[in-house]
Amino acid sequence: RFQACVYFASVFQAMSCGIHYLASVFMAVTPNFVCGIPGNVSSVLFYNSTEASLEDIWTIWTSTENYIVVQLENGEIWELSQCSKSKREVSLDLAYEYKGNKSVLSCSDGFLYDDTKWKSTVVTQWDLVCDREWLAKLIQPTFMLGVLIGAVIFGDIADRLGRQRVIWFTSAGQFVFGIAVAFTSDYYSFVIVRFLLAMVSSGYLVVAFVYVTEFVGIKARTWASMHVHAFFAMGIMVVALVGFLVRTWWVYQIFLSIATLPFVLCCWMLPETPFWLLSEERYEDAQKVMNIMARWNKVSTPCKVSELCSVQQDDPVSDRTGDNDASLAKKHNILDLFCNWYIARRTITVWLVWFTGSLGYYVFSLSSVNLGGNEYLNLFLIGAVELPCYIIACIGMDKLGRRNTLIPFLILSALICVLIMFIPQDFNVLIILANMAGKFSIGVAFGLIYLYTAELYPTIVRSLAVGSGSMMCRVGSVVAPFCVYLRSIWIFMPLLLVGIMALLSGILTIMLPETLGKPLTNTLEEATEIGRNMKSCSGKTPPAHSGAALEKIEMFGQETVSTEK
């Protein structure tokens, strides 16, 4: 009961990470627009259609390359395009075609935006169009850069100060910075505050993974850690819903920020993990947490810290190897991930899968609003399709194996990218379904690479391997928005890039060893041997670590304490 409450409370806030990661798809959208004019419009002409106002002409606006002819109340006739305007020297009659002299001017009077769908966005707020368009395109990449930096900073702080304090700070930070974004007065303060919001959002997500892992028992750990992603996906669905209901960007941002306010008000009740407290030798605090767990779980024989300490002291393997392992661990660096050909090839492949998974995940998500049809429904479905994909990933990992699940889904996602290119553009429903299938496939691969990476590397560099893979994941998330912008060059360019990367990753993954049912390795030599010949490792048993204390806490957390240990 205790673990369930802590788990669901922690992962509930993960929704806010999904919310803020994808908020820009509606907040920074660019509606139809033309140059502003110095005067009141009396009539508007677009080809053969004449209207009394610009609001009526937006519904038949077909291409951004076309221009609109307007006549002012003073009789002047102007041709308005997106980034320039032309004044006709001879104003005889209102006609679309004109062969006479024109004065071409810049958009010094601002811009006129189509507000039929979005009342206000950050693009319309600060005129991030034409020569300032690049500023709008930097909104999502700078956010993802904050995600990268936040993961590094708060991951280290959580090891030093504890998981509880970081969860408190990052939860409050998401709420405060989320609200602050809505009240920024200029573009640069907007980007800076969103950068800080990205850092705390990423920090929470990273620490939440560690936090729930240290509270959840071994049997449920795979499912529990995988479904943190599911709550992230629910955050994407919330973005679609709020975007549909609220069409003013700063109100939209406020509603998104208060979506997880209940957790912010209650997160101070979450305890520190006993594992971290024991590692810091705060035995009395660890005992208090375990006593609370005992009361919630109705355990009649509470576990004692003194028993755990005695188990660790009596562990002969710990006595023999503890100091040596500690000294060795300090000497390892990222170059050890390239110590020989087998490990180097494995590292390159794993990094590529991390990068491809993140790139594909965000390309499918960010592109969903450009698929045609209802963009809000598209984003909602792209988020909803993740929920079953993590269930399939868990079942596949346990039944087929890590590699045998990863390979087909990577190759399938590449094939789907190619398939989408051959679907006619007016088949909106089929295009959306294919994109959902692509997001599903890449989501399975992206979800299981966390655990697979940890199992592919020995203990002495395992954290380093997962951390470096996570960094490649963040790089992929920074590159993804730029990849989406390549639609302006060729509409299928983002899909082509994702498809190539997914196919290459799938082919290289064939050379990785299967780790299902295999003991974790401790040295680089053991990990190398797996790459050379899996059979040579199949009969080995995992070395006896000083994990008796850890097992005792986990069994205690699951309402039973073995009296034999």
Range 153-158 average pLDDT: 79
The helix/strand/coil state of 417 is helix
For the chain, give the number of residues.
565
Instruction: Examine the pLDDT at 558 and tell me if it is beyond 60.
Output: no
Q: Cα-flanking dihedrals φ and ψ of residue 44, to 5°?
A: -130, 140
With pLDDT > 70 as the criterion, what percentage of the chain qualifies? 85
Nearest-angstrom CA–CA distance, 403 and 465: 17
Q: Is residue 322 part of a domain?
A: no
| Contact present, 12 and 231 (Cβ < 8 Å) | yes
Q: Is residue 546 part of a domain?
A: no
| Contact present, 46 and 263 (Cβ < 8 Å) | no
pLDDT-derived band at 537 (thresholds 50, 70, 90) equals very low
Answer yes or no: do 40 and 16 share one domain: no
Answer yes or no: do 101 and 145 share one domain: no
Nearest-angstrom CA–CA distance, 26 and 121: 8
Last residue of a domain, one of 116, 134, 159: 116
Q: Is residue 328 part of a domain?
A: no
Nearest-angstrom CA–CA distance, 377 and 369: 9
Answer yes or no: do 85 and 177 share one domain: no
pLDDT-derived band at 554 (thresholds 50, 70, 90) equals very low
Q: If you average pLDDT over every residue of the chain, what do you get?
A: 80
Hunting for tokens 């199949």 — which residue is that?
Answer: 538
Q: What does the pLDDT read at residue 193?
A: 96
Write the CATH number for 383: 1.20.1250.20
Instruction: Examine the pLDDT at 536 and tell me if it is beyond 70.
Output: no
* pLDDT (tens digit per residue) in 456-503: 887 677 767 777 888 888 899 889 989 988 888 888 899 999 999 999
Q: Is residue 348 part of a domain?
A: yes
The contacts of residue 381 (CB under 8 Å, 6+ apart) are: 368, 432, 436
Q: Is residue 239 part of a domain?
A: yes
pLDDT-derived band at 164 (thresholds 50, 70, 90) equals confident
Answer yes or no: do 429 and 360 share one domain: yes
Kindly give the pairing relationship between strand 68-72 and strand 77-80: antiparallel
Answer yes or no: do 236 and 381 share one domain: no
Nearest-angstrom CA–CA distance, 496 and 491: 10
* pLDDT (tens digit per residue) in 31-80: 888 888 877 777 888 777 776 667 777 777 766 667 888 888 777 888 88
* pLDDT (tens digit per residue) in 218-262: 677 777 777 788 888 899 999 999 999 999 999 999 999 988 788
Under DSSP, the state recorded for 58 is: G
pLDDT-derived band at 181 (thresholds 50, 70, 90) equals very high
Answer yes or no: do 50 and 10 share one domain: no
* C-alpha R_g of the chain: 28
The most confident of the ranges 89-93, 304-308, 350-354 is 350-354
Q: Is residue 313 part of a domain?
A: no
Q: Is residue 550 part of a domain?
A: no
| Alpha-carbon distances of 541 from 94, 213, 531, 550, rounded to whole Å | 87, 24, 17, 19
- Residues spanned by the domain of 248: 1-31+120-270
pTM comes to 0.81
- What's the domain count of the chain? 4
Instruction: Examine the pLDDT at 83 and tell me if it is beyond 80.
Output: yes
Locate all alpha helices (DSSP H) within 13-138, ordered by sequence: 14-22, 24-27, 54-57, 122-126, 133-137
Q: Cα-flanking dihedrals φ and ψ of residue 113, to 5°?
A: -110, 150
Answer yes or no: do 339 and 410 share one domain: yes
* pLDDT (tens digit per residue) in 312-344: 444 444 444 444 444 444 456 677 778 888 888
Answer yes or no: do 362 and 497 share one domain: yes
Hunting for tokens 């109705």 — which residue is that?
Answer: 298
